[in-house]
Amino acid sequence: MQPSLLPFLLLLVLAGRKAANLSKSIVTLYPPWFHVLKNDLVTLRCEGSGTPEGNSILWLHNDTIIPVQIQDYNIITKNISYSGKYQCQRGQSALSEPVGLEVFPDWLVLQTLKLVYMKGESMVLRCHSWENKGISKVTFYQNGIGRKFFQHDSNFSISKVDSNDNGDYFCSATIRNRRETSRVVRITVQDPSSSTSSSSKIWYILFYLVMGVLFAADTGLYFTLKREINGPKNKRRPLTRWR
């Protein structure tokens, strides 16, 4: 290894260790739904390691700083401009991963905790009405087929999802003697074994790719040093006797 590369590699190692020790902040939604309606109250909580000094918490909405520095950021989604990604940074933690929030100007919205479930997980769906208006005759649809009907209950749950639960979901309900329908939400169910196998293949490919690059670099460095050692400047002149 060339001596000039050593300080650079040491800096990379130290930077990697520092990044690994710096945990990320986390944004949590209360209630936990990321699809909401106009005039809904949503609380975003910023959690992270360390204690923020003087409530110095950084909030971002679509990469723009929000002028608040509190742990619980309450918003009323007055219009769709509140849609987008939210991030925060608290104390000694790093900036959080973005959490998406989507606001719809509708009468109904189908809410779920996430869009991708693993096989065997439980799934909860909620048919939510604008300003929590009273609803009745709630029906949940999967791929256009009515799956469950409730007179007043707006929640539908599946204890263990499988591949048959893939599809497009929406709900309908009666509000003030009018039948309203939500937008479609696509939900995917994945098999953990297949995803693990795919990720393992990716790691194997990355491993052999890195090893190949390192081997090529070492080989090139070896022949470079060999040429320098055997070059004309490094050849010794034959000894001659004094006459």
Q: What are the chain's domains?
A: 17-105 (2.60.40.10), 106-220 (2.60.40.10)
Residue 193's pLDDT band, with cuts at 50, 70 and 90, is: confident
Average pLDDT of span 158-169 = 96
Over its C-alpha atoms, the chain yields an Rg (Å, rounded) of 29
Integer Cα distance of 183 and 185 in angstroms: 7
Q: Which amino acid is at 84?
A: G
Q: What angle do CA 60, 24, 193 make, to 5 degrees?
A: 115
Q: What angle do CA 52, 77, 86 make, to 5 degrees?
A: 40
Pick the more confident residue, 117 or 18. 117
Integer Cα distance of 99 and 42 in angstroms: 13
Integer Cα distance of 219 and 203 in angstroms: 24
Residue 25 has pLDDT above 80, yes or no: yes
Integer Cα distance of 13 and 118 in angstroms: 35
Q: Please give the pLDDT value at position 242.
A: 46
